[in-house]
Amino acid sequence: MKYYSRHFVKPGDLNPAQRLFGGQALAWIDEEAAIFAGCQMGTANIVTKMMSEIDFVSSAVCGDIVEFGFEVVDIGRTSLTVHCEMRNKQTRDLIVRVDRIVFVALDAEGKPTPHKKAGMTVEQAANSAIAENKLAS
């Protein structure tokens, strides 16, 4: 799994037990996963359709740096499904795992629409992303 972005855990992100508030972790995951999915789908006009079971494995405290890893696990005509892990950057301890987050591409009227990786296999999409990254560098 490749890790794409990081957040610094600040005092305002904590619950009364002085641990990262689960709702804050989920907000970060939804935002970061949407950015990843939108880049993969070739559009920012997407919505989160579904998150599978969320597994809070461990906690984070003020001062920790958490990072987000994503991988594409399924590609539909109008949707893209990603697996997400949030871990502690320093210790690499897993904090949260979401097996499936489904995003749907929308047209100008808000209706589901095909995206640029529709019809590709997960392997083809991964190879496409590698090629795109090489062109960008």
Beta strand 79-88 with 46-51 is unpaired
For residue 45, what is the domain's CATH number?
3.10.129.10
Q: Distance between CA atoms of 6 and 16, rounded to whole angstroms?
A: 23
- Give residue-wise pLDDT tens across range 69-126: 999 999 999 999 999 999 999 999 999 999 999 999 999 999 999 999 988 899 988 8
CB 83 within 8 A of CB 73: yes
20 is in which domain, residue-wise?
2-136
Which is more confident, 124 or 6?
6
DSSP 94-117: EEEEEEEEEEEEB-TTS-B---TT
- Letter string b/e over residues 58-71, b meaning 16 or more CB atoms within 10 A of that residue's CB: ebbeeebebbbbbe
pTM over 0.85: yes
Q: How many domains does the chain have?
A: 1
Which helix or strand (DSSP H or E) is residue 41 part of? helix 22-41
